[in-house]
């Protein structure tokens, strides 16, 4: 007998969907700031090509970018802290955080499985090992972004923090690389969600997923 | 919450309608929340502008400033470097650096809210204790360079030229002679031990493009506050105007 199973707690759903536009605004305003001194490249690829700035009208908006960045940083950080605190208090962290070294091996197997290079996926709880690793990594990346951001923002008052990132320039590079990391995360995340289908996506909005689970259904008959 | 409560079990024929009900309700809530979020964003962005920044954002910049100013301390220093780490400093701005002025007999007009205090010949500053400082100069654009400055601390200058026993005002205003370029500084940053009135760079007299004969070297602020060719210094209790703050930048611009 199919049932509706609660997958995502209501608070987690709110944190997730509030984070999405906030992170977008932080990245967008970050690019407005980055435009004024765009020095990074990987091989021949330059961050960013001229067409990118002109297509999105990014040029000469440094002041606007800073005013946005230092406004939305508060909401972004508050949402992130509340999310982490909530996962700890609710115990949800147990499902989100890799609990053993084997999880990292399993995460690799999940990735191979998803790429059709391995037949079986390792057994999993609510989240598979690859999700655990990436959802934990993204939170740690968030913390590193806040710290490297603070190091660039106040390199005199927080000189020790800048030193931690190898100085002012190191902190700026770290802040940028982390942002590229979010974009890569986003691409993979959205692709995975698209592949997982509507039931999974809807679950992130309404919290519940349809689940066929006859044994459990028989023993816990809670109707609503 | 126990696992038990995490499952909704309804007869199979009702499952679809239960799912549809929840989907409709929660997507409606999501839509309203998204519209609210976009509405709030648009409201912020289209609010009345204060110095080219929508006022809610300007308020937050001011709040950030209060936090930064409270944390600012004379013991929080920008790291210092050795001489072999000095880098080329790009002369980025030339506002107020009109040629054809007499740099040799330069005087700085020092005043307070109640009127002029003194006109200081720049040569007199040689008699104040000279400090050499090699620190990172951070441009608001994002680049930085290790710069080597020489000159007296602004705090020494103030001790010498601001009347003894009078309460020091909250701000300092500095400008080029024609006030083409001007900066506002909080007193705490101005009196910071790394704030110099520099007349030397790299052990030589300042070059015209770097602000000869006297400029501000204030590594606890972005480059925009490191005003070149200072002609006016005013101690004031009124928050001074600032060239770039009026163009939409943060007034404090502190590091």
Q: Which residues on B lie below 8 Å from A36 (Cβ)?
A: 140-142
Q: How far is CA A208 from the centre of its chain?
A: 22
Q: Which residues of chain B have pLDDT under 70?
A: 1-6
User: What is the nearest CA distance from B140 to chain A, expressed in angstroms?
Assistant: 9
ipTM: 0.90
Judge: A2–B138 Cβ closer than 8 Å, yes or no.
Answer: no
Domain B49-247 sits in which CATH superfamily?
Oxidoreductase, molybdopterin-binding domain (3.90.420.10)
Helices (H) and strands (E) in chain A, counts: 10, 4
Report how far residue B239's alpha carbon sits from residue B186's, in angstroms, rounded to the nearest whole number. 8
What ranges do the domains of chain B cover? Answer: 3-45, 49-247
| Predicted pLDDT at B96 | 86
* Strand ordering across the sheet containing B144-151: B131-138, B144-151, B200-201, B204-205
Q: Which residues on A lie below 8 Å from B60 (Cβ)?
A: 70-71, 74
Compute the mean pLDDT over every residue in chain A, rounded to the nearest whole number: 91
Judge: B8–A1 Cβ closer than 8 Å, yes or no.
Answer: no
A 10 A CB-CB count for A184 gives: 10
Percent of chain A at pLDDT exceeding 70: 94
* Nearest chain A residue (CA) to B72: A157
Which residues have CB under 8 Å from A35's CB, separation 6+? A53, A58, A59, A60, A61, A62, A65
| Predicted pLDDT at A169 | 95
Judge: B144–A168 Cβ closer than 8 Å, yes or no.
Answer: yes
Domain A2-216 sits in which CATH superfamily?
Transmembrane di-heme cytochromes, Chain C (1.20.950.20)
Nearest by CB to B79, from A6, A159, A217: name it. A159
Q: Does A60 touch chain B (CB under 8 A)?
A: no
Enumerate residues 70 to 99 of chain A having a beta carbon within 8 A of any beta carbon in chain B: 70-71, 74, 90
| Predicted pLDDT at A221 | 45
Judge: B141–A34 Cβ closer than 8 Å, yes or no.
Answer: no
φ, ψ of residue B194 in degrees (nearest 5): -95, 10
- In B13-63, DSSP assigns E strands to 49-50, 53-54
Q: Which residues on B lie below 8 Å from A21 (Cβ)?
A: 37
| Predicted pLDDT at A213 | 58
Q: Average pLDDT of A177-205?
A: 95
Burial class (CB in 10 A: 0-12, 13-18, 19+), B100: exposed
| Predicted pLDDT at A214 | 53
* Nearest chain A residue (CA) to B21: A206
* Nearest chain B residue (CA) to A3: B9
Predicted confidence (pLDDT) per residue in A22-66, tens digit: 999 999 999 999 999 999 999 999 999 999 999 999 999 999 999
Q: Which residues on B lie below 8 Å from A74 (Cβ)?
A: 60
Predicted confidence (pLDDT) per residue in B139-181, tens digit: 999 999 999 999 999 999 999 999 998 999 999 999 999 999 9
User: What is the nearest CA distance from A41 to chain B, expressed in angstroms?
Assistant: 16
Predicted confidence (pLDDT) per residue in B20-34, tens digit: 999 999 999 999 999
């Amino acid at each position: 007998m199919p049932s509706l199973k609660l997958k995502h707690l209501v608070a987690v759903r709110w944190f997730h969907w509030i984070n999405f536009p906030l992170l977008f605004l932080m990245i967008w305003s970050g690019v407005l700031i980055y435009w004024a001194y765009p020095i990074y490249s990987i091989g021949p690829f330059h961050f960013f090509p001229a067409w990118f700035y002109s297509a999105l009208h990014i040029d000469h908006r440094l002041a606007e970018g800073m005013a946005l960045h230092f406004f939305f940083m508060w909401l972004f950080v508050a949402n992130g802290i509340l999310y982490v605190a909530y996962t700890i208090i609710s115990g949800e962290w147990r499902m989100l955080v890799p609990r053993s070294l084997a999880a990292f091996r399993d995460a690799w197997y999940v990735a191979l499985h998803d790429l059709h290079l391995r037949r079986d996926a390792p057994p999993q709880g609510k989240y598979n090992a690859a999700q655990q690793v990436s959802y934990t990594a993204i939170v740690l990346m968030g913390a590193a972004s806040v710290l490297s951001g603070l190091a660039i923002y106040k390199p005199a008052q927080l000189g020790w923090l800048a030193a931690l990132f190898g100085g002012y320039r190191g902190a700026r590079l770290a802040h940028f690389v982390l942002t590229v990391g979010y974009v890569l995360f986003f691409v993979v995340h959205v692709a995975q969600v698209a592949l997982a289908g509507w039931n999974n996506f809807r679950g992130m909005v309404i919290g519940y997923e349809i689940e066929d689970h006859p044994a459990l259904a028989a023993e816990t008959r809670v109707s609503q | 919450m126990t696992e038990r409560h995490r499952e909704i079990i309804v007869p199979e024929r009702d499952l679809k309608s239960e799912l549809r009900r929840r989907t409709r309700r929660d997507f409606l809530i999501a839509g309203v929340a998204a519209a609210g979020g976009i509405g709030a964003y648009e409201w912020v962005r289209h609010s009345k502008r204060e110095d080219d920044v929508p006022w809610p954002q300007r308020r937050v910049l001011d709040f950030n400033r209060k936090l930064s100013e409270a944390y600012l301390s004379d013991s929080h220093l920008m790291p210092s470097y050795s001489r072999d780490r000095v880098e080329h400093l790009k002369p980025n701005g030339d506002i107020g650096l009109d040629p054809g002025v007499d740099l040799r007999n330069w005087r700085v007009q020092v005043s307070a809210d109640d009127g002029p205090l003194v006109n200081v010949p720049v040569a007199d500053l040689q008699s104040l204790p000279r400090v050499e400082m090699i620190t990172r100069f951070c441009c608001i654009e994002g680049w930085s360079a290790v710069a080597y400055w020489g000159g007296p601390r602004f705090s020494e200058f103030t001790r010498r030229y601001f009347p003894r026993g009078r309460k020091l005002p909250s701000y300092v205003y500095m400008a080029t002679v024609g006030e083409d370029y001007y900066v506002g500084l909080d007193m705490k940053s101005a009196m910071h031990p790394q704030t110099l009135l520099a007349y030397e760079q790299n052990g030589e007299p300042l070059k015209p493009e770097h602000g000869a004969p006297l400029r501000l070297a204030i590594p606890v602020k972005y480059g925009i506050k490191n005003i070149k060719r200072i002609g006016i210094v005013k101690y004031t209790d009124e928050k001074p105007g600032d060239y770039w703050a009026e163009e939409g930048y943060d007034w404090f611009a502190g590091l």
